[in-house]
């Protein structure tokens, strides 16, 4: 029983049919507003008849709350990010927030996107795998718009962030490979200006150096499959190819495995061990069975949303850096050490007595 009016139904039209004021209609759809059950019923009935839905855009205009969170994301071919996106959308939805999606430019230039986001007067921003210039960070801070860097951090403490302990996890990976008696180490780096890459590289290299390993080969994979494949080829064709490779993320690690096996006929882990970071979908597939440092998507997303909500509520934003605990999930892509691997909830984890 819908009226064929032009355009969507307005609260005014509902009011007329219900025989009440437009204010009454508005109150009916505002949780907590003072409205008598009788009036409410009349309004709901009329609304149902007309197929009325409150206009969220109009509401936003005078509440100064859009209930929209802007999300900038890149690397959709890396399973980790779609999983994050799905979790973000779902959890925001539960809180009756909505997600406006932007794809980060390849050159990492957020400025143009940033302008778009701001025009929609979003209540908060999540930057996944993207960094933000200090100027823009400060602008958000001044404008009272919370920004959370997801899987990236920023040194000046101007922006909030959610990460795992990249450096500690990378040290653990180094310790794991050492315990597995590997001799020749290589690191496949992500984009060198990415904070997580820096932390992972530092953790890995520093622990090895500390243990007396000086010759660590670092090659750039830049989070890109093709660049990674070339880098891996180069490593494997060198006179002394590595027997232990840590790639800055799973996506690159999988590429390294494919190159090792299908271009060089190497066996994994007999000839070379490969470890990644993210513990995302394909890493658990039997064809790869990648040993990987986990980034728990749900916990990271929950932390992100908790931060966002807290900052949306409060008047002044206190930037906060959250570190979510992860584990080293041991599968079959890397030789296992004699000890230190424990079973837990159906997974094998590396938990040596003492980690430095």
Integer Cα distance of 273 and 281 in angstroms:
19
Integer Cα distance of 291 and 250 in angstroms:
9
Integer Cα distance of 325 and 320 in angstroms:
16
Number of residues counted as binding its own copies (CB under 8 A): 56
Angle between helices 225-237 and 250-258 (to 10 degrees): 50
Among 22, 39, 49, 89, which residue sits at the site for its own copies (rule: CB under 8 A)? 89
Site string for its own copies, 188-217 (x = CB under 8 A): ------------------------------
Residue closer to its own copies by CB (options 94, 354) is 94
Residue closer to its own copies by CB (options 204, 288) is 288
Binding to DNA by residue 134, rule CB under 7 A? no
Integer Cα distance of 305 and 33 in angstroms:
27
Strand, helix or coil for residue 33: coil
27-56 binders of its own copies (CB under 8 A): 51, 53-56
CB of 12 to its own copies, least distance (A): 14
Q: Any alpha helices (H) in the chain, and if so which ranges?
A: 11-18, 22-28, 37-50, 56-63, 80-94, 111-119, 134-143, 166-179, 195-210, 225-237, 250-258, 264, 297-313
Q: Choose from its own copies, DNA, none: what does 21 bind? Cβ within 5-8 Å by kind.
A: DNA
Integer Cα distance of 130 and 126 in angstroms:
9
Q: In this structure, how many other beta carbons lie within 10 angstroms of the beta carbon of residue 100? A: 15
Number of residues counted as binding DNA (CB under 7 A): 31
Residue closer to DNA by CB (options 30, 314) is 30
Angle between helices 80-94 and 297-313 (to 10 degrees): 40
Residue closer to DNA by CB (options 5, 192) is 5
11-30 binders of DNA (CB under 7 A): 11-12, 20-24, 26-27, 29-30
Binding to DNA by residue 63, rule CB under 7 A? yes
Residue closer to DNA by CB (options 26, 255) is 26
Residue closer to DNA by CB (options 31, 346) is 31
Nearest CA among 161, 95, 99, 158 for reference residue 127: 161
Q: Which stretch binds its own copies (CB under 8 A): 14-22, 95-103, 194-202, 210-218?
A: 95-103
Q: Choose from DNA, its own copies, none: what does 257 bind? Cβ within 5-8 Å by kind.
A: its own copies
Contact 98, 124 (CB under 8 A): no
SS3 content of the chain, % helix, strand, coil (to 5): 40, 20, 40
Q: Which stretch binds DNA (CB under 7 A): 38-46, 98-106, 286-294, 334-342?
A: 38-46
Among 16, 21, 98, 141, which residue sits at the site for its own copies (rule: CB under 8 A)? 98
Distances (CA, A) of 16 to 28, 34, 36, 51, 331: 14, 20, 18, 14, 66
Q: Which stretch binds DNA (CB under 7 A): 51-59, 266-274, 332-340, 341-349?
A: 51-59
Among 1, 2, 4, 64, which residue sits at the site for DNA (rule: CB under 7 A)? 64
The first and second tokens of residue 152, run together, are: 């990236």
CB of 74 to its own copies, least distance (A): 9
CB of 1 to DNA, least distance (A): 19
Binding to its own copies by residue 83, rule CB under 8 A? yes
Residue closer to DNA by CB (options 139, 299) is 139
Cβ density class 149-167: b for 16+ within 10 Å, e for less: bbbbbbeeebbbbbbbbbb
Interface residue list for its own copies (CB under 8 A)? 2, 4, 7-8, 51, 53-58, 60-61, 64, 66, 68, 71, 76-77, 79, 81-83, 85-86, 89-90, 93, 98-103, 113, 115-116, 118-121, 139, 142-144, 254, 257-258, 261-262, 281-282, 285-288
């Amino acid at each position: 029983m819908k009226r064929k009016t032009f355009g969507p139904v307005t609260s005014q039209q509902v009011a007329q049919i219900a025989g009440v004021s437009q204010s009454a209609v508005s109150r009916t759809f505002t949780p907590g507003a003072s409205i008598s059950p009788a009036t409410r019923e009349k309004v709901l009935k009329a609304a149902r008849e007309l197929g009325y839905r409150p206009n969220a855009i109009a509401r936003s205009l005078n509440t100064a709350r859009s209930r929209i969170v802007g999300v900038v994301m890149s690397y959709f071919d890396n399973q980790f990010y779609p999983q994050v996106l799905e979790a973000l959308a779902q959890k925001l939805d539960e809180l009756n927030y909505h997600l406006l999606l932007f794809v980060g430019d390849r050159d990492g230039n957020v400025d143009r996107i940033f302008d778009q986001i701001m025009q929609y007067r979003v209540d908060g921003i999540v930057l996944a795998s993207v960094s933000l210039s200090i100027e823009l960070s400060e602008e958000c801070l001044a404008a009272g718009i919370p920004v959370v860097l997801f899987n990236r951090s920023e040194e000046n403490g101007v922006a909030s962030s959610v990460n795992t302990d990249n450096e500690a996890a990378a040290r653990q990976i180094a310790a794991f490979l050492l315990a597995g008696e590997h001799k020749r180490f290589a690191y496949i780096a992500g984009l060198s200006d990415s904070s997580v890459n820096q932390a992972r590289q530092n953790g890995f290299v520093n622990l090895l150096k500390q243990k007396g390993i000086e010759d660590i080969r670092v090659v750039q994979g830049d989070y890109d499959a093709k660049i990674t494949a070339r880098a891996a080829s180069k490593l494997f064709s060198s006179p002394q190819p590595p027997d232990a490779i840590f790639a800055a993320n799973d996506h690159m690690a999988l590429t390294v495995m494919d190159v090792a096996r299908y271009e060089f006929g190497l066996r994994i882990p007999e000839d070379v061990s490969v470890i990644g970071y993210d513990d995302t979908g394909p890493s658990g597939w039997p064809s790869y069975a990648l040993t990987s440092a986990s980034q728990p998507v749900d916990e990271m997303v929950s932390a992100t949303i908790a931060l966002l909500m807290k900052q949306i509520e409060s008047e002044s934003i206190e930037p906060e850096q959250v570190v979510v605990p992860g584990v080293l999930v041991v599968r079959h892509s890397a030789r296992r050490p004699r000890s230190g691997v424990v079973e837990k909830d159906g997974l094998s984890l590396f938990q040596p007595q003492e980690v430095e």
